[in-house]
Amino acid sequence: MVLGVGPLLCISLVYTTHFYAANAMTGYAWISVVPLVTLAFLLSYLHKYKWDAWRTDGKRFHAFIGVASAVLFLSVPLIFLANINLMLFPAGWTDVRGFFSSLTLGNVFPRYFHFLAASIAVTALFLAGWFTRKGLSDEKMPDGFSRGELRRLFFRIAFYVTLAQLIFGPLLLFTLPHGGLSTALWIVILSGAAVAIAFLWLLGSVVRKSDGRSRGHYIWLWGLLSVVVAAMATGRHLYRETSLAGHRTMIKEQSARFRSIAVAAQMRVDAGLDAGDALGGPPTGKHIFKNCAACHALDRVLAAPSLVDISSIYLGDPAGIVAWAKAPGKKRPEFAPMPSFAHLGDEQLMAVAEYILQEGAASTSDPSN
């Protein structure tokens, strides 16, 4: 769990907008992560250092402390994985009403079971080496266990839990929403699965030995497991990139549009025009034109051509303006690319086009101009 801080920081940097949006939607649950971890460690320390004092007189309370600590430790990764899962599905954010509703989005629980199994397998493999390392005295062995028994016990746990991943892994994969799947992801996952099978075969050969001795295989086991973990991490990253690609593009386009509007509004003010003079009114072409007024003035060049200029180009062709507004390109180097306004729909865009042609023509025919 502590080692998860590094990946957490990396994700928060790479996917800042989506990560913190997910955190905000789960609110109290996410804020409680640090207090929960702190309390879990304190209870585990209490359980450890009161082992001799409470295991006779306070046996039930001692057991309660241990169970409470374990439950807290198990709850923290569920909160974390729910947030990581939530950030992948911005289309469902409007339906989220706190932490528990976020659990219904995506595939939180298959992720959770896969994570727990992987954590247990890695811990067991580590303990198999830790309790049987050179220099560790027999006095430090847990009561009732020999060095060989401990070695076999932890290797066996690592083997069977990793074997269970052959169920949890496909369950996680096939419950993923298809929007994030890609050819590269399949290649990485299948490659990782092949290495995992090799890891299981080697680990199984160690488990079958009566003394559980790895005979130099321990380094190979860690090497193979590291490749599997790297494949899992790469696959998750590829899925995140594919899932969020469209939404990140939309954010980029909308941000560029808002920046353009802000700059154009300031230019209108500098030109002596009211930055909001096109706002208000009934839902007519003039009213809808407020979406365009930040960049387009009647007879002045601001951040884009004037209405007079546009009307001279599209004289009698409002459909041409509509087509351009839905899929604009870049014709003039002195102007920034125009964002698409396809979201307004053909009816509103046609009303705006007719308004532009009407105002531009009227300004051209007015002798005062």
Q: Which domain CATH number covers 204?
A: 1.20.120
Region of 338 (left: φ > 0; alpha: ψ -120 to 50; beta: rest) is beta
Q: What percent of the chain has pLDDT over 70?
A: 86
* Residue 257 maps to a domain: no
Question: Which is it for the CA torsion 113, 115, 116, 120, positive or negative?
Answer: positive
* Average pLDDT score, the chain: 84
Query: Are residue 80 and residue 118 in the same domain, yes or no?
Result: no
Asked whether the predicted pLDDT for residue 254 surpasses 60, the reply is yes
Q: What is the pTM of this model?
A: 0.69
Return d(Cα 158, Cα 204) in angstroms, integer.
Answer: 10
* Residue 342 maps to a domain: yes
Mean pLDDT, rounded, for 13-30? 89
Residue 92: closest CA among 25, 45, 46:
25
Asked whether the predicted pLDDT for residue 102 surpasses 70, the reply is yes
pLDDT number for residue 278: 40
* Structural domain total, the chain: 3
CB 185 within 8 A of CB 241: no
Return d(Cα 209, Cα 152) in angstroms, integer.
Answer: 8
Query: Are residue 122 and residue 82 in the same domain, yes or no?
Result: no
Could you tell me the maximum CA-CA distance found in the chain, to the nearest angstrom?
Answer: 106
> What does the pLDDT look like over 49-86, one tens digit per residue?
888 788 777 888 888 999 999 999 999 999 999 999 99
> What does the pLDDT look like over 270-285, one tens digit per residue?
655 555 544 444 457 8
* Residue 256 maps to a domain: no
CB 300 within 8 A of CB 264: no
Residue type, 368: S
Q: Which domain CATH number covers 327?
A: 1.10.760.10
Query: Are residue 295 and residue 213 in the same domain, yes or no?
Result: no
Q: Tell me which residue range forms the domain holding 308.
A: 271-365
